[in-house]
Amino acid sequence: MDVKRAFKYRFYPTDAQAAELSRTFGCVRKVYNMALAARTQAWTLRQERVDYDQTSAMLTAWKKTEDLGYLNEVSSVPLQQALRHLQTAFANFFAKRARYPRFKSKHSSRACAEYTRSAFRYRDGMLTLAKMRESLDIVWSRPLPEGSVPTTVTVSRDVAGRWFVSLLCQDVNVKPLPVADATVGIDVGLEHLLTLSTGEKITNPRHERRDRDRPARAQRELARKAKESANRAKARVRVARVHARIADRRRDLLHKVSTRLVRENQTLVIEDLAVRNMVKNPNLARAISDASWSEFRSMLEYKAAWYGRNLVVVDRWFPSSKLCSACGSRQERMPLNIRTWMCGCGTTHDRDVNAARNLLAAGLAVSVCGAGVRPQRDSLPDGRSATKQKTLRREP
């Protein structure tokens, strides 16, 4: 199984390259917004759908106008790719996989440009983009797969002012791993980042809390600067660099932990958490965001697909913390402050380890029987569930 992977590297452009790329980013954003406005207006006024081919013809006409003649100064490939990305955004919207496409902002949107094979030259570790004479000064932190040639190159600049280039290649080294005998249930938390069904606990480093003084100090300095001043722009970059350092450290840990779990276990079981709803809690939002449970889950998903592992996601309403992993009895209440409890069968449980073991048992049942893992319902005398009765009580 050949897998396409993006290899991301940092590079340091010359002043001329930085100016050319910044110009390209602005043109990409302009073309995307104009095409989005044209498609929205066509549907609003005439109930007409505009596709990629029509927006591509619009781009050709825009380049011939006096006001938009500067679009000819940059490579045409990133502009065409922007129209393709807009087409994908509309396809996802119509398939109800995403919201309606939004306009790109100069200050908040990601500054990037995508080049296909016709717009770059890669030879002997040297990458040269269209409209540039010199190759990029890339820091090759790891080699590309032997014999692979990039099919797409994406250049980006983050809010901290760092430049990155991402090369999409066919990686023949990604192959299913040998079948392992081990299985593991994974319970995520805040005190411990992960608790495994084996009893192992992985400490939560709390990167954001450990470095909280640095972003606070940088933010105070930013607040003192005059608006629209050069000093304010410099202070904004300093704030972004502090947050980028925290994000890099967090992502590095999640990559190491997820790779290790995927390599060691054949089946991994996690819980389907509604993180978007959980961060609405003002007391826990900061800690939950710092733990980055959603990013950890996405890493497990694509790495399990790469290496032939099974990832089972248990329903979010499954009472993993309330069930006794020894006898299966269920506790009525289990407040968050209770970390250790004793079941009626005499078994003393660590809350997180018990939850991980229950997740593993439920996940194995799913993989064997193919049934979904749904929460246990308390039956009522008339045969209806408690959930059904609560629904009926709300009816007038």
Catalytic residues: 187, 271, 352
- SS3 percent helix, strand, coil of the chain, rounded to 5, is 45, 20, 35
In this structure, which amino acid lies at residue 171?
Answer: D
Dihedral angle over CA of 349, 350, 353, 356, nearest 10 = 70
The number of beta carbons lying within 10 Å of the beta carbon of residue 230 is 9
Question: How far is residue 249's CA from residue 117's CA, in Å, rounded to a whole number?
Answer: 33
User: Which residue matches tokens 């800690």?
Assistant: 287
Question: How far is residue 233's CA from residue 227's CA, in Å, rounded to a whole number?
Answer: 9
Structure tokens at 183: 């299985």
Question: How far is residue 220's CA from residue 214's CA, in Å, rounded to a whole number?
Answer: 10
Q: Is the dihedral of CA 306, 310, 315, 320 positive or negative?
A: negative
Q: Which residue stretches of the chain are H helix?
A: 15-46, 52-63, 76-94, 207-210, 213-224, 230-264, 275-278, 285-291, 293-307, 351-369, 386-394
Buried b (16+ CB within 10 A) or exposed e, 380-394: eeeeeeeeeeeeeee
